[in-house]
């Protein structure tokens, strides 16, 4: 299968890539940091030599970059799975965050998925198959302290995903909204939070992979995951 994963150099994106690489799939990975992307690609290829990996350095908050990445992926054929994972978290409150924060969060966390999906969908619709995973957040479901524009963008991402699910039903294309709580990635290093208190990135990746294996007649519409002891 051809699997497109955005924001794939670290964190959840890297975990998704490893999960699908283990089955010998062809991966299309992008990230902003070229060095990290190369290192991740080489690590995964060394661990799972039967997979094929294509990489491209992309800033998913820039529409032109997104469209270029989409064209790059389509050169190799139809994407079977698209994981819209690219995102960024900037803490703050609506009343005191920087004036440009909302624009930045919407561009990175929503527009990235919107523009990429719109370019890749026609091929999926033509073939009457495919699966789109939109990585939302627990912040898509409930406002929380210091969430600010990040939470607003994730609410919007869930709205995009729900609408897409309805639109794609007649085309046999599955759409799954993924709402993970805190999962241990590089961003948590040095935070003082015990890594045993929150989920592993692999936990989320395993659930996404499992949802991708169901029969054509079944679609997991939403995946909601939290640490065993609940949100922090």
| Active site residue ranges | 150
Q: Distance between CA 187 and CA 184 in Å, rounded?
A: 8
| Residue whose C-alpha is closest to residue 92's, from 143, 53, 134, 126 | 143
SS3 letters for 14-45?
HHHHHHHHCCCCEEEEEECCHHHHHHHHHHHH
- C-alpha distances (whole Å) from 9 to each of 36, 57, 101, 123, 224 are 6, 10, 24, 26, 23
Q: Which two tokens stand for residue 137?
A: 């957040």
183, 224 Cβ separation under 8 angstroms: no
Phi first, then psi, for residue 198 (nearest 5°) are -120, 175
CA–CA separation, 110 vs 61, rounded Å?
A: 9
> Do the bridges between strand 81-84 and strand 2-5 make them parallel or antiparallel, or are there none, so unpaired?
parallel
Q: How many residues does the chain have?
A: 232
Bridge pairing between strands 131-135 and 222-225: unpaired
Report the DSSP pairing between strands 52-57 and 2-5: unpaired
User: What is residue 196's three-state secondary structure?
Assistant: coil
CA 30 – CA 39 distance, rounded (Å) = 12
């Amino acid at each position: 299968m051809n699997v497109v994963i955005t924001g794939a150099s670290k964190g959840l994106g890297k975990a998704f890539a490893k999960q699908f690489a283990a089955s010998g799939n062809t991966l299309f990975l992008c990230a902003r940091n070229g060095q990290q992307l190369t290192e991740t690609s080489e690590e995964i290829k060394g661990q799972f030599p039967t997979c094929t990996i294509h990489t491209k350095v992309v800033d998913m908050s820039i529409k032109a970059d997104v469209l270029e990445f989409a064209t790059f992926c389509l050169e190799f054929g139809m994407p079977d799975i698209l994981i819209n994972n690219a995102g960024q978290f900037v803490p703050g409150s609506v009343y005191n965050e920087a004036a440009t924060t909302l624009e930045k969060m919407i561009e990175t966390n929503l527009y990235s998925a919107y523009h990429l999906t719109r370019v890749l969908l026609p091929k999926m619709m033509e073939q009457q198959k495919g699966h789109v995973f939109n990585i939302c957040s627990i912040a898509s479901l409930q406002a929380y302290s210091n969430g600010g524009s990040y939470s607003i963008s994730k609410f919007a991402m869930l709205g995009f995903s729900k609408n897409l699910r309805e639109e794609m039903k007649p085309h046999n294309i599955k759409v799954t909204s993924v709402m993970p709580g805190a999962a241990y990635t590089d961003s948590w290093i040095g935070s003082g939070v015990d890594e045993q208190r929150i989920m592993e990135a692999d936990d989320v990746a395993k659930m996404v992979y499992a949802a991708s294996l169901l029969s054509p007649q079944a679609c997991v519409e939403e995946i909601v995951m939290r640490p065993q002891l609940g949100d922090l």
